Structure 1
Amino acid sequence: MVQKRVVSIEDRIPKLKQERRKKANRKLIFYLLIFFVLVFIVIYLQSPMSYVKNITVNGLQFLPEEEIIEQSEIEEPVNFWRVKTKELEDNIMTHPQVKEAEVSKSFPNTIVMDVQELTHVAYVELDGKINPLLENGDVLHELKSSDIHGDVPILKGFKDNNYLHEIAEELGNLSPYISALISEAYWEPTESNPYRITLYMTDGQEVESTIRNLAHHLDSYPSIASQLDNDQEGIIKIDQSGAVFTPYEVEKEEEEKIENDHEE
């Protein structure tokens, strides 16, 4: 018969005391940790450490950062945890040049504003002044000539806001490459076609088309232009029926012939 080893209570007491001491120490450390964390939080919330120190604005192309920060109406100094991001977003969205806005917090004291601007699709000449035209058809305040960039066309002759809104939408659908090829665009309506438009391209060509579906019509322009001789300039008529190129020489001869017929 196997005899079991019997451990006396006297031998077990030191081990039990040691285990209890370890548990007590762990609890003490845990409570001290919670205490110091709470103290740190209180000190942090009551000190300047919890105030917004940095505001980062991303995505801007035309607008200055200061204008967006001012538009957000964020108060300075302001407690980081009291900032209402949704309220700042709504304030930024009231800016006429802003399309989308998202505001977030980056611990410990940074506010991040991600902004998407409405695209400048053209400059429009109104009363002898040059004004930026946005993709939604809104016209901004007059610009200085030094602030005008050549990557979008200048619109001339537009006297009706409805047609201005339509061409703004069409230009917004153009690729940046094709948009940069347009130097100037003239609205030249006729009784039969109030949407008639003439485009003067940077490569010397002249394009006659319509405001409606202009973006679709101009998709084929690079292909058409590449088939012409470098020194051959003229008028390219592009509409729903296709494209027709007439060299300036032929156009001039036809005009002279019409004038001669009238004289006779």
Structure 2
Amino acid sequence: MSQKKIVSIEDRIPKLKQARKKKANRRLVFYLSIFFFLISIIVYLQSPLSDVKTINIKGNEFLSDNEVKDLSGLTTETNIWSINGERISEAIAENPIVDSVDVTRELPRTVKIDMKEVNRVGYMRQDGNYYPILGNGTVLRTAGQQVNRGDAPLLLDFDEEDKLHSMTAELEKLPASILKLISEIYWVPTEKNTNKIMLYMNDGFMVDGTIRDFAEKMKVYPSIVSQLEEGSKGIIHIGVGAYFEAFDNAGSQEEEEQQEDTE
């Protein structure tokens, strides 16, 4: 018959004390870890380590990076956790050049600004410079250039601001594929039609039309051109109806043009 080993209470007490001590030490280490972690967070938030280091800006063409930063109010001394993306977006969007803005935080120390500017729909020539015109009618006087880039039509003789705004609003609606075909747009008002315009196209044709509903009427232009014989040159009228007039017959259409002027 086997004998059971009997452990006296005196032998067990040191082991219990040792186990309790280890448990207490582990608890102390846990609490100290939390304490130092919280202290680290506080130090981080109060130190330059949490300040913005990089501001990445994308989508700006007319506004410089520095102009966008000034509008945002962000600096390298701004705490990244104090950033209000919505408020910054609203501040930048107050500029008429800006269409939309999205501000996001990228840890640890980067702010990303994705923006979209209002489309450039043309240029205005003044004092030997070419100034971009946006779809909302804003002329960018600070972005003048001596050479016409040719990526948007040149708007000429638009002496009245409301007519310029109406024209740019129509160009904003125009498909890019048609907009890039236009070289120059002249405002040529008559007594009967103050909205009359004349276009010079990059493919050699001219277009006689009006500002009113220009974008809708101009959509037929590619279709008309595709039906003309190769080498044809003349004026495409997009007033009442749409038709082509060869340059040889330009002098015989005065009556039709007078009817169009009433539109």
Bin of the TM-score, shorter chain as denominator length: 0.7 to 0.9
SS at match of 1:113: strand
State how far apart, in whole Å, the 1-side matches of 2:49 and 2:128 are.
53
State how far apart, in whole Å, the 2-side matches of 1:111 and 1:206 are.
49
State how far apart, in whole Å, the 2-side matches of 1:243 and 1:9 are.
113
> Does structure 1 residue 109 correspond to structure 2 residue 113?
no
- 1:29-44 matches, within 5 Å, as 29-44=29-44
Structure 2 equivalent of residue 119 of structure 1: 119
State how far apart, in whole Å, the 2-side matches of 1:155 and 1:199 are.
9
> Structure 1 residues 48, 86: CA separation in 2 closer, same or farther (over 3 Å shift)?
same
* Alignment: residue pair count: 246
Measured against aligned partners, the alpha-carbon deviations of 1:118-161 in whole angstroms (never above 9, x if no partner) come to: 11111123566532211111222061223x32121001111111
Larger CA deviation: 32-41 vs 179-188: 32-41
> Structure 1 residues 181, 16: CA separation in 2 closer, same or farther (over 3 Å shift)?
farther
Contact 2:69–2:75 (CA under 8 A) maintained in structure 1:
no
User: Which structure 2 residue ranges, 5 or more long, are not aligned?
Assistant: 1-6, 254-263
Larger CA deviation: 79-88 vs 52-61: 79-88
State how far apart, in whole Å, the 1-side matches of 2:8 and 2:200 are.
105
State how far apart, in whole Å, the 2-side matches of 1:184 and 1:96 are.
25
Larger CA deviation: 242-251 vs 34-43: 34-43
How many angstroms does 1:20 deviate by?
Answer: 6.2
Contact 2:52–2:75 (CA under 8 A) maintained in structure 1:
no
Contact 1:71–1:92 (CA under 8 A) maintained in structure 2:
yes
State how far apart, in whole Å, the 1-side matches of 2:135 and 2:35 are.
57
Structure 1 equivalent of residue 146 of structure 2: 145
Structure 2 equivalent of residue 212 of structure 1: 212
SS at match of 1:145: coil
Structure 2 equivalent of residue 187 of structure 1: 187
Contact 1:183–1:202 (CA under 8 A) maintained in structure 2:
yes
State how far apart, in whole Å, the 2-side matches of 1:243 and 1:15 are.
103
State how far apart, in whole Å, the 2-side matches of 1:183 and 1:9 are.
106
Measured against aligned partners, the alpha-carbon deviations of 1:87-146 in whole angstroms (never above 9, x if no partner) come to: 433332232311222322221111111212111111123566532211111222061223
**Matched residues, percent identical?**
42
Structure 2 equivalent of residue 85 of structure 1: 85
State how far apart, in whole Å, the 1-side matches of 2:17 and 2:136 are.
79
Larger CA deviation: 129-138 vs 204-213: 129-138
Contact 1:199–1:206 (CA under 8 A) maintained in structure 2:
yes
Structure 2 equivalent of residue 244 of structure 1: 243
Larger CA deviation: 104-113 vs 58-67: 58-67
State how far apart, in whole Å, the 1-side matches of 2:56 and 2:152 are.
29
State how far apart, in whole Å, the 2-side matches of 1:197 and 1:113 are.
40
> Structure 1 residues 22, 175: CA separation in 2 closer, same or farther (over 3 Å shift)?
farther
State how far apart, in whole Å, the 2-side matches of 1:13 and 1:192 are.
113
State how far apart, in whole Å, the 1-side matches of 2:167 and 2:231 are.
30
Larger CA deviation: 202-211 vs 190-199: 190-199
Contact 1:125–1:131 (CA under 8 A) maintained in structure 2:
yes
Contact 1:201–1:207 (CA under 8 A) maintained in structure 2:
yes
Larger CA deviation: 40-49 vs 210-219: 40-49
Structure 2 length as normaliser, TM-score? Answer: 0.81
State how far apart, in whole Å, the 1-side matches of 2:196 and 2:14 are.
102
Contact 2:54–2:76 (CA under 8 A) maintained in structure 1:
no
SS at match of 2:223: helix
Structure 2 equivalent of residue 5 of structure 1: none
> Structure 1 residues 243, 14: CA separation in 2 closer, same or farther (over 3 Å shift)?
farther
State how far apart, in whole Å, the 1-side matches of 2:176 and 2:8 are.
89
RMSD: 2.8
- 1:160-171 matches, within 5 Å, as 160-171=160-171
State how far apart, in whole Å, the 1-side matches of 2:234 and 2:224 are.
12
> 1:247 is aligned with what amino acid?
A
